Structure formats: C-alpha cells, structure tokens
Structure 1
Amino acid sequence: MPHEWPECLPVGAVRFARPTARFEDCLVFYRDVLQLPVIASWRGHTGYDGAVFGLPGTPVHLELTQHGETPEIPAPSTENQLVLYLAGHEAVAAVVERLAGLGHRPAPLDNPYWAERGAVAYADPDGWMVVFAPWIFGQDPVPTVA
C-alpha cells in the first residue's frame, strides 16, 4: 500500500492540541522530564495559557492549553497515547533508566501490543500515556511478539 500524501491537501506541519487541568505539572513533565523542546508558549493570551512542544522538530507539534479556572477534563483511558518511536531497545532502556532516576515508574497499558513488543509507557500528570516504542515506525520492522 503506497504511503503518499494527497496532493489536494498540501499540509506543511501538524499540531495535536489538547486541554489540560494540570498545566504547570504537564509543562514540567514534557519540558523538564521528557525534555521536549518548547517551540512556543504563552500566558494569559485571551484567557489561555499554553505551550507547544516540537515532536521532534517543528513540523509536528503537541500543544497543551489551559483556559480560565482549572477546567474539567474527561478522564483519559490508557488508549490516549503519544507514541514516540525510538531507535531500538537500548534507546528505550536509556529513557527508562533516566526516568527512574527522576522518580518516574512505568504505567501499565490495557492493550498488550506494546509490552509484547518491548515498549514502555508512562502517564503524564493528566493520566495521558507516553509510549516509548523500540522501533522507528515505517522504517524498521515491527518487533515480533516477545
């Protein structure tokens, strides 16, 4: 199956945005713990606080916003995931070791697909999962079931 982008949709960048009820905690988690680069941020812009993280550069972004009083956010499931594909098991192990040193522990996922293939997940302060997978999707073969 070809993986070509449609000519009729000339997208130059993609941003995934979601609200947070714990903006400061999420900012620390993504910026300081995961060390994602902040490529834009604002406070009090028409009542919004926000931060945009590059994934891993500027063409793909994750945006977190909080508006006004702490909003009620629907509870996420373990299927609310940001999957970061890393270059092999050693890269995942290095992330796990670094996060453990900062006091973070892996979180279980309902879907066994990830663990069976060596991926490890962590919950952000809102309970959204960040999955570290040990292969580059679309480039490396998906690991076989362990």
Structure 2
Amino acid sequence: MTFRYARHTQNLEEIEKFYTEIVGLEKLGGFENHNNYNGIFLGVPNSNWHLEFTSSTEKPASKFDEDDILVFYVNAEIELEIIKRKIKTANKNLEKPKNPYWKKNGIMISDPEGYKIMFSVSHLNFTSADDLTNLVKEKSIKNWSELIEFTRNLRYGRNQNREDFSLVIKENKGTCSSKHSFLKKIADLNKFENIKLVIGMYKMNHLNTSKIGTLLLNNGLEYLPEAHCYLLLNNKRIDITNRNSDFENLKNDILEEIEIEPEQVSTFKMEYHRNYLKKWIDDNNIALSFDKVWEIREKCIAKLEA
C-alpha cells in the first residue's frame, strides 16, 4: 500500500521551498493545468509515501487546530541537529506543542500556511548478531544514533587496513572513508533503510579545509579535487569525519557525487580519484604532472592527520 497525504494550497512555490529546504524532502514530480489544478509531489525516493500539494483558482478552506500535526521521524540526533540549524537559518521560531508528549519528544514549527510540523527521533536498535555489530554492542552503544555520535568523536587517522571495518573501533580512529563505510556496513547488516554511502569530489582549498594552510597556493593551485566520503541519511548529507565536520562547508564546492558500497572505499575509491585527477589535469592544462599533484595531495592529507 502507498500512502499519499494531499492538501490544497495557495502558494506552491513557498510550500515546495519549505518542505525541501527545511524538512529535507525531494520533489518527486508534479503537474500543470490538469483540470484546472497544478500540483507537486514531495517525499523521499523509493519510499511508499509522499505528500501532494495542489493549487487552483479556488481558495483553500482547510481548518485545523493545535493537535493537528504532521510528524516527521528521523533516526538519529545528528539529523535533528541539522534540521534545527536549517530552522534557525530560515529565521523560524520553535513552538510549544499543546500535547505534553510532544513537548518532551520533539520540536515543532509551522509551515508557511500555519500547519504544525513536528520532528522527532525514532531510534534504530541493532538486530543483527554478526561480529561487527557485536563489537559495537560491547562498547555499550545501544542504537544507531549513539553509534554515529561515538564514531564522530573518534580522532582522525588512517587505519592499517581500509577493508577491515572493525579497525575503526579497535584502533579508535578513522578517516572519512573508514568512518562512513563502517557506519554504512553496520546499517546494511542491521537492515536500516534510507542510508547511502557517497563519494563527493569537491574543490579542496584553504577555505573549506583550513588545516592544509597555504600548501596548495604555494604550489600554484587554487584548489585540488579531493574524494570525500559522507552519508546520505533520510535525504540529509551527514559528514562525521571529525567532531567539527559540517557538510554545509563543502556543499557549494561539490563537483560530482556517486553512491558506493562500503567495500568500494579501498581500491575503487583510489582508482576513481586518480582517474578524476588525471582528467582534471588534462582538461584544465595544469602545469604539474599527475605524480606531483598526487604528492601535494598526500601532504594535504598528512596535515589533516596532524
């Protein structure tokens, strides 16, 4: 069964902006001039539900009260953090729900037409008995949200073997590749849905990656394409490479994104990155050899580990 929630509105543009930029939904489709109606479909790809908003020459006559709430559940506290930042950026105020349960278990705002929207965390518990999940449980980590927080707080550093996901816990460290592939592997083993592992090629420079200092500029480079791993959780990009990582710092510098499996963070990611760099050098007439560019890149990574 597929669930659709349909509502008539006077302003499709404002509604689309709110539900995509703050709630984090995607526009799945739409239509124009269908029996005097225009409409949009918003939701999460490959889910069995979506929202439909329509407009026409008739003014909506909807009525609602404080207990009429549309609730969106996220699966980790970090997702709620991101939503709170977006709410603040949009200059929207958090509101106090009438129902005491929601006062304790969520945050509420109003959409552009005054309808109440609630965000709450629905924790995902581990159900698998595999060795990697058991290793997580031995750390007294109870759910997916706690695992993300635990991994985010591990120090940045390369592991001895990228293909051994357990080393993130055993060595108490990890990189963007090992941390995010470890989390994705746990998600797969426990059948957590709507979680993707992504490689994003971004323009690494001294502004979005401050630790590299003037290393690139000293070598005549404004930026260097770097392969960076992160997660897509319920359509929200999450970067937990270190405690202070924030995808917002990179989003305007993303050149290309591809989805991968955890096992691809080793050989595949390296080959993909090298091939991208070689093409970038040729296409942009960079006056440095690939070997020299890769050497500079390795010096940048060493600064990140320092």
TM-score, normalized by length of structure 2?
0.38
Q: Is 1:112 the equivalent of 2:89?
A: no
Figure out how many residues of one structure are paired with residues of the other and give that number.
125
**Deviation readout 1:53-85 (Å, 9 max, x if unpaired):** 12464411111111214x132332222222111
Read off the aligned partner of 2:66 and give its amino acid letter.
T
- Residue identity over aligned pairs, in percent, reads 23
Largest Rg, 1 or 2? 2
- 2:174 is aligned to none
Higher helix share: 2
- Does the C-alpha gap of structure 1 residues 55 and 80 become closer, same or farther in structure 2, counting only changes over 3 Å? farther
Distance 2:60 2:83 in 1: 31
- Does the C-alpha gap of structure 1 residues 91 and 39 become closer, same or farther in structure 2, counting only changes over 3 Å? same
1:106 is paired with a residue of what secondary structure? coil
Displacement after TM superposition at 1:29 (Å): 1.0
- Does the C-alpha gap of structure 1 residues 79 and 95 become closer, same or farther in structure 2, counting only changes over 3 Å? same
Distance 2:37 2:95 in 1: 30
Q: Is 1:97 the equivalent of 2:73?
A: no
Displacement after TM superposition at 1:49 (Å): 1.2
Distance 1:56 1:85 in 2: 16
Read off the aligned partner of 1:128 and give its amino acid letter.
Y
TM-score, normalized by length of structure 1?
0.74
Distance 1:78 1:96 in 2: 21
Displacement after TM superposition at 1:101 (Å): 1.6
Out of 65, 90, 93, the residue aligned to residue 54 of structure 2 is 65
**Unaligned runs of at least 5 residues, structure 1:** 1-10, 141-146
Distance 1:89 1:32 in 2: 19
1:27 is paired with a residue of what secondary structure? helix
Alignment of 1:27-106 (within 5 A): 27-55=16-44, 57-69=46-58, 71-106=59-94
8 Å Cα contact 2:12-2:55 kept in structure 1: yes
**Deviation readout 1:4-36 (Å, 9 max, x if unpaired):** xxxxxxx2x211111113322212211233331
